[in-house]
């Protein structure tokens, strides 16, 4: 019966972790990142209050019910919805960029290491 000593066990463990890394990165790791981004966007929407402004876009401000007050309230809230929508769009774009970086980072690093190894062998 073949016995594995401690150093061989460590090396096998490292090899197993290196082989498992891409599987984890593109499965469980990606799901964790997507969940984090989703929670962050929900939290950002709560900070910005976009849905509250959208729900109340036709409600007159300060309880004023005349036509001019309703028109001013609508214009102010429409402007607020637009600005807050731009802010949410910015944070959504950042979140998507973060996910894209997460997906492409191992590939970029691998090709960078591969190209550097090729350059080292040429010289």
What letter would DSSP give residue 62? G
Instruction: Indicate the average pLDDT of the chain.
Output: 91
24 vs 21: CA distance, rounded Å: 5
pLDDT in tens, 16-40: 999 999 999 999 999 999 999 999 9
pLDDT at 73 over 80: yes
pLDDT at 8 over 90: no
Closest CA relative to residue 90, chosen from 57, 98, 56 = 98
Confidence of residue 119 (pLDDT cuts 50, 70, 90): confident
CA distances from 55 to 45, 70, 71, 92 (A): 14, 15, 16, 21
pLDDT at 123 over 80: no
H/E segment holding residue 118: helix 67-122
Closest CA relative to residue 44, chosen from 32, 33, 36, 55 = 36
Confidence of residue 2 (pLDDT cuts 50, 70, 90): low
pLDDT at 79 over 90: yes
Using a pLDDT cut of 90, give the percent of the chain over it: 71
75 vs 33: CA distance, rounded Å: 38
H/E segment holding residue 10: helix 6-26
């Amino acid at each position: 019966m073949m016995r594995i000593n401690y150093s061989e066990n460590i090396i096998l463990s490292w090899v197993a972790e290196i082989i498992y890394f891409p599987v984890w990165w593109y499965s469980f790791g990606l799901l964790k990142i997507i969940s984090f981004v989703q929670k962050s966007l929900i939290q950002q929407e709560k900070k910005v209050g976009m849905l509250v402004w959208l729900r109340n876009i036709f409600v007159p401000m300060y309880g004023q019910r005349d036509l001019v007050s309703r028109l001013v309230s609508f214009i102010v809230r429409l402007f607020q919805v637009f600005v807050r929508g731009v802010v949410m769009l910015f944070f959504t774009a950042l979140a998507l960029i973060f996910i894209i970086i997460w997906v492409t980072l191992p590939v970029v690093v691998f090709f960078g290491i591969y190209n550097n190894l090729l350059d080292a062998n040429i010289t």
